[in-house]
Amino acid sequence: MIAALTVSFVILLREVSVQAQGGLQRGFYSSTCPRAEAIVRSTVEKYFNSDSTMAAGLLRLHFHDCFVQRLTCSQAIWHGTAAFVAVHLLIRGILFALKGCDGSVLISGASAERSAVQNLGLRGFEVVDDAKSQLEATCPGVVSCADVLALAARDAVDLSDGPSWSVPLGRRDGLVSSASDATSLPSPTDSVAVQRQKFADKGLTDHDLVTLVGAHTIGQTACVFVRYRLYNFTATGNADPTINQAFLGQLQAICPHDDGDFSSRVALDKGSMTKFDASYFKNVRDGNGVLESDQRLWEDDATQDIVGNYAGNIRGLLGLRFAYEFSKAMIKLSSVGVTTGTEGQIRTTCSKFN
């Protein structure tokens, strides 16, 4: 019975997530704050022109905001197993939803989502704060911090020679931010099975998974997330055998075995760190994936086919295909579990509740 209730819970959870997308619309601020998108764009461009690596930071910030696992019921938080929640749902007829892109990662505080281990190293907060400050001066109380994040992520990709897309808007900011909600975020050590489940919990397919992880075409990661693959991966002193041998030497030069400097960083997309393109998939295909979770995508039959399609030899067409699919996947991710209508609030300052 417990298993059946759990299945019912998961099915309903996905249905609620899909229904939530209906609350967003393109041109949401066309009458209430017509310069909203232009203000965010000019702000992102200002920081990007000063430091192009900020693009990856903003994209990651939006992703981490959307990828929380939180169950709400009239703004109350349910804790417990899926079966426990399902029992209460079925017996009491209480409707709740999976919450996602609601600006919760922007809240500061010792126990807030932003302080979770999974969110250490997030950056771009100052860009969001700057844009929000300008928006409040232009049209106070109108544009949510969650929408600023969604727009900033799109503009960051566009400025990195990636695609642009029309962002459905109308998200409202959430009223809860808890570090424990970040446990559902993908990890660099996740197997494909674990990655698949985490994305499926958001209603995302294998195709969405591979496409969205393609965001690693820009940005860097700390050596601490790579070093264990380089020196003692098998507990016998050997490196991860899936790493291309020529690339292994390059990684070891960047991330020495005994280097205690946590500031050492390595590009996630070898040879193309600041350009949003399909080269990331070629690197994964060729054993040049930096993160273990990325390289594992080449070992699973389903995800390997998708990586291979993006990494083929027709350079121009592949870039266009990835750009098109990434735009679709980002709209899908950023629409799951949003707070809209009269729920939540429009924060005056993104780092704290009103």
Concerning whether 64 is annotated as a catalytic residue, the answer is: yes
- Give which of 317, 315, 291, 295 is closest to 307, Cα–Cα: 295
Per the annotation, where are the binding residues for substrate?
186
Q: Which stretches of 259-333 are DSSP H helices? A: 279-285, 292-295, 301-310, 315-333
Residues 147 and 150: their CA atoms lie apart, in Å, by 5
Instruction: Point out the annotated binding site for heme b.
Output: 216
Q: Is 345 helix (H, G, I), strand (E, B) or coil?
A: strand
Non-local CB neighbours of 131 within 8 Å, separated by 6+ positions: 39, 40, 43, 44, 148, 152
Rg (CA), the chain: 20
Length of the chain counted residue by residue = 354
* Helix, strand or coil, per DSSP, at residue 140: coil
Q: Which of 64, 79, 88, 257 is catalytic?
A: 64
The DSSP H or E segment spanning 55 is: helix 54-66
Can you name the residues that pair with 97 across neighbouring β-strands? Answer: 72
Which residues are documented as binding site?
65, 68, 100, 102, 104, 113, 186, 216-217, 269, 277
Q: Which residues are catalytic?
A: 64
